[in-house]
Amino acid sequence: MRIEIAGRPHLTYCTNIHSGETWSEILKNVEQYVLHVKRKVAPDCAYGIGLRLSGQAAQALADPKELNAFRQFLHNQNLYVFTINGFPQGTFHGTRVKEKVYLPDWLDEERLDYADQCAHVLAALLADHPDIEGSVSTVPGAFKPRARSDQATSRIAGQLLRHAATLHRLQETTGRIITCALEPEPCCLLETMAETVSFFKTHLFGATAVADFSRLTGLKTPQAEDALRQHLGVCLDACHAAVEFEDPDDVLSTLRNAGIRILKIQLSAGLRISCLDNETLAALQPFAESTYLHQVVERTGSELTRYVDLPHALQAANERGETGAHDREWRIHFHVPLFLKRLGPFENTQPFLTRLLQLQVEQMPTTHLEIETYTWDVLPEEYRRMPVVDAIAREMQWVIEALTR
């Protein structure tokens, strides 16, 4: 498999690692960091950007003057944008994010408006690249406590069908294919692969959904289903799937057999703890930081227990009085550098990612690969001593080596 930074598959890192909510701040990050990374990993070829846009940044960039200026900048610097991280619409750095990262979710009209705007922006940015399909990753419906009722699930599906209709019209008017990639995550409506497939089959690709989409677009039934399957799919985050104790081979075959496209793979790794004792629990305390949600899945034999956040899991372990529990394994949703196989007494979930990259080489399940280690600012200090640009470049090199090994 021939790997290039530009080409197929497209490989980048997500700019959500850099703090900034306004368009001017995000553009400054591109100028300051992305260009520096490009000089390190792709000095002589085009380099794709995984652009994170907040709601306010997407609105600002949608202005034709800003769009044209940014397109000219991309052209001048031999850059292009092929994917947008449209997951966190609000503030993502420097404050308590936690479960607010999902808001507004797909129950809210504001999420639909934001997704539509991101899609229009990406279509405009890809105007000069007719051979590249664009992807926008998004929240997996909603945080699970907000989506337990059938009414909520139906509302989420209806909003996604309306967004898919926008994507269909966008393709008709611009010729650009833009896709919406739902990103399964622990403790969300779409959490496991089984839940994800069930939601797609029942609520997005089922007969009722296809009929509703046909009415929205005027497409005949077979064409309506084809359009839905083209525009709606999955963003497979390797950390999330590993935390859920999924198997990479099973994940790909399950999605393939269900006819669900993998529109983007986010290359990420979480924490793995195979022995719980007092020393390990104490070493985990610095990871229980206050910005992001760090869901924990605990496996005891064949049973899985889920905790919404790391402090909850630590409290439960302390109440049990762990003194060397070799029968329990924890997987923690804390994105850690891909190249750090060990972090002190912990391993990361690198084996899942390594196998997934092997399957990428063998099967090419997607053309969009995006490194997403967004937690650099909140990692314990001993694991982030190198400059962030060097860390990003090292992660990209690690991935390239894995893909060409």
- First and final C-alpha spacing in the chain: 10
| Cβ neighbours for 76, distance < 8 A, ≥ 6 positions apart | none
Residue 145 carries which DSSP code?
Answer: G
Asked if residue 322 has pLDDT above 70, the reply is: no
Contact (Cβ atoms closer than 8 angstroms) between residue 79 and residue 51: no
pLDDT for 327 equals: 79
20 pLDDT band, cuts 50/70/90, is: very high
Contact (Cβ atoms closer than 8 angstroms) between residue 234 and residue 260: yes
CA atoms of 337 and 357, how far apart (whole Å): 16
- The CA–CA distances, whole Å, from 15 to 107, 144, 244, 401 equal 26, 27, 25, 22
Record the tokens describing residue 385, joined without a space.
């001593």
- The CA–CA distances, whole Å, from 278 to 283, 311, 324 equal 9, 15, 8
The pLDDT mean for the chain works out to 95
pLDDT for 3 equals: 45
Percent of the chain with pLDDT over 70: 97
Asked if residue 347 has pLDDT above 80, the reply is: yes
pLDDT for 320 equals: 85
CA atoms of 209 and 332, how far apart (whole Å): 35
Contact (Cβ atoms closer than 8 angstroms) between residue 279 and residue 345: yes
pLDDT for 364 equals: 96
Record the tokens describing residue 97, joined without a space.
């994010």
Q: What is the CATH number of domain 10-269+349-404?
A: 3.20.20.150
Strands 232-237 and 262-267: parallel
What are the pLDDT digits (tens) for 225-284? 999 999 999 999 999 999 999 999 999 999 999 999 999 999 999 999 998 888 899 999
More confident residue, 180 or 405: 180
Record the tokens describing residue 276, joined without a space.
């719980």
- The CA–CA distances, whole Å, from 131 to 79, 236, 395 equal 15, 23, 27
- The CA–CA distances, whole Å, from 118 to 20, 134, 137, 141, 162 equal 17, 11, 10, 17, 15
What are the pLDDT digits (tens) for 149-163? 999 999 999 999 999
CA atoms of 156 and 134, how far apart (whole Å): 22
Contact (Cβ atoms closer than 8 angstroms) between residue 189 and residue 156: yes
pLDDT for 7 equals: 57
What are the pLDDT digits (tens) for 106-117? 999 999 999 999
pLDDT for 8 equals: 72
